[in-house]
Amino acid sequence: MKSSFRRVKASNSSTTTPLGNIIGVKRSPAGIGVLSTGTEIDSLLGGGVPLGSVSLLLEDRLTSYTDIICGCFIAEGVVGESTVYVAGDDVDAFFGNLPAALRTPNDQVFGREEESEHRPESSQEEMTIAWRYASLPRYSAPNVGQPVAQSAGKRVAFNQSSASRSDDGELLHSGVRVTFDFGKKMPPETIHAAGERVLRFDVAPRDEMKQVYDPFEKILHDIAGVAPLTSSSTSGTPVAPLRIVIRSLLGVAWLSALSHNFGTTTPLARHAERVYRFLHSLRVLVRDRHASAIVTMPTHLFDAGSTGGLSQSLLRRLEHAADGVIELESFDGTMRSVHPAFKQDYHGLVLPHKLHRPGTLTHLSRTPELELRNLAFRLRRKRFSVEPFHLPPDLSEPKQATARSSQDQIVDVRTSFNKHKGLHGGGDQTNVGSHAKKGIASGQNVDF
């Protein structure tokens, strides 16, 4: 008997643009196209910022480490032939502070530090102490962009369990990973050479602007006009993805622009509702486009009673409207006292509140859960590194008191450093003073 069921044949032409045709995109270990941020935040995100996602970076009070991450994200797009779009206050100054790339995409060694930085200047410079170890292989520094950690007194590869260090992903098109020099600025000629690939929108109100307009509608209209759809090109034509950065959303400049356009009598909570609708619309807009957005937001505006309208519950709603949420809490920007031992090796903490889950139930990061709760960052001249947090050994006490396992020395800094914020579901505001001191590092009291 002949069956009535027939197999549906696949179409010869794909309905979406192949990842190999997208400039500067990488395939993550999960098979998803991602864009690199130019920093070691990529390993925390599973290779980079996924295409079609909105990431939320929470700022602290005094420092601008989020601008460094956004600057690397945009600078990598400028030198990598991608389209970039920046909206916020004083956008021209932001482009003027972009870090300089050490190489150009056409160089074969682009994305790697000079080998001369790791090798001695003269071959006559040999080991004169511990000569019996001279025949052993020299220590080779990890590749630029590969996170490193410090554990048990020696440097080891961060998250070595990942298969063949595939967290960085596979580059599918032209160019390679970029290395930046934070001590130098990108030449203006490089930005001008990008031409129409560099788009900007300054949200600060101007006196000559008499008409009333919605800055959120303006941004969504601009993005819809330049971000290519996922089905825009099915041939071999290269597609330039769009890198979006929206700086200090709900900051002073944004509130001034909203008050200028909608009136000064509008309640602050009403502006916050517009921001929530904007984030939701932005997430829907970039979902089916070759674009990734990073939005920064000052968290100190959401402190209890500080503004009278921006509550912690509203911040939770804004976090829910984003695909991923990461907070940078610097030791210099916090309002609490920080023990000097914290500042010896790190500049602050990395708090991943919500990681990307594109089409999956679990996040893409291959970092162990224990390390996700204890991450810190440091800024070097050529690297923004993310490492598991640890305290230096206390050499002032006897060896018997310091004989503890490395596992016991790991401090859950995320819980102790942010317990007063109620980060998980709007928890209660715990008194920091009652939890300020932890017995760590051989019984040494560390004041948070």
Q: What is the DSSP letter of 275?
A: H
Give the C-alpha separation, 420 to 438, whole Å.
15
What is residue 151's predicted lDDT score, i.e. its pLDDT?
A: 31
Domains with residue ranges and CATH for the chain: 19-112+145-442 (3.40.50.300)
| 10 vs 23 pLDDT, higher one | 23
Average pLDDT along the chain: 71
Give the C-alpha separation, 146 to 8, whole Å.
45
Size of the chain, expressed as the number of residues it contains: 448
Q: What is the pLDDT of residues 306-361, one digit of tens each?
A: 445 567 778 888 899 999 999 998 888 777 777 777 777 888 889 899 988 887 77
| Cα 381 from chain centre | 17
Please say if the pLDDT value at position 432 is more than 60. no
Range name among 58-62, 169-173, 341-345 with the lowest pLDDT average: 169-173
Tokens found for residue 11: 């179409």
Cα-based distances in Å from 375 to 141, 289, 326, 390: 21, 32, 11, 9
What is residue 207's predicted lDDT score, i.e. its pLDDT?
A: 55
- Contact indicator for 325, 319 with CB cutoff of 8 Å: yes
Q: For helices 268-287 and 312-320, give the axis angle rounded to 10 degrees.
A: 10
Give the C-alpha separation, 82 to 38, whole Å.
14
Q: What is the DSSP letter of 391?
A: P
Question: How much is the average pLDDT of 130-157?
Answer: 41
Residue 131 burial (10 A CB sphere; 0-12, 13-18, 19+): exposed
Please say if the pLDDT value at position 191 is more than 80. yes
What is residue 303's predicted lDDT score, i.e. its pLDDT?
A: 63
Pairing type for strands 26-27 and 170-171 reads antiparallel
Whose CA is closest to 370, among 387, 355, 388? 388
Percent of the chain with pLDDT over 90: 23
- Contact indicator for 358, 52 with CB cutoff of 8 Å: yes
Give the C-alpha separation, 374 to 216, whole Å.
36
Tokens found for residue 409: 């020395």
Q: What is the pLDDT of residues 22-34, one digit of tens each?
A: 888 888 877 888 9
Tokens found for residue 127: 């080991």
Q: For helices 252-262 and 268-287, give the axis angle rounded to 10 degrees.
A: 100
